[in-house]
Amino acid sequence: MKEFTREKKFKTRSVAGTLAIAATIAEILSAPRVVILRGELGAGKTTLVKGWLQALGAAEPEEVTSPTFTLVHEYKARKGRVYHLDLYRLESERELAALGLDEMAAEPGALLLIEWGEKFPSLLERADAEVAMAPLEGDERSLWVRWRD
């Protein structure tokens, strides 16, 4: 398993705060292509993606919905396509293979933001970065970003 060599922690008190931190994280993780977003239901993973896509000029937050049932939503950013995935409902490595992640990741400038990616060992293995979100009191959330250069 590849180790992450860098890390940064954040704390937010609101949705607006999470959207702002997403822009910072988008900058920090401008090179990584495959990013796993960890955290229980309601932690704020999709909210983070809204801010991330906004920062990349790919979509406005209100245009972004959770790909819970569709599995993948695709956006166009300046550098390339951004794929927002939610694998909560996916059950096997076989179903995962059918999604075509390899093709997505192979596109120049592509970025994959994957909710529930940690369910699959093959994805943990290939991830360039992880963002772990955890609810604290009320609207507070902690964010822990880990990546390798």
Structure-token pair, residue 7: 């890390």
Among 44, 51, 67, 117, binds ligand ADP (CB under 6 A): 44
**Residue whose CB is less far from ligand ADP, 3 or 62:** 62
**Residue whose CB is less far from Mg ion, 45 or 94:** 45
**Cα distances (angstroms) measured from residue 64 to each of 51, 121, 123, 138:** 10, 27, 23, 23
Structure-token pair, residue 129: 């970065």
The binding track of 76-115 with respect to ligand ADP, each residue x by CB under 6 A or -, is ---------------------------------------x
Residue 46 within binding range of ligand ADP, rule CB under 6 A: yes
Q: What angle do CA 54, 15, 147 make, to 5 degrees?
A: 65
Minimum CB–partner distance for residue 108 and ligand ADP (Å): 28
Number of residues that bind Mg ion (CB under 5 A): 4
Beta bridge partner(s), residue 35: 113, 129
Binders of Mg ion among 54-73, rule CB under 5 A? 66
Q: What angle do CA 60, 68, 80 make, to 5 degrees?
A: 45
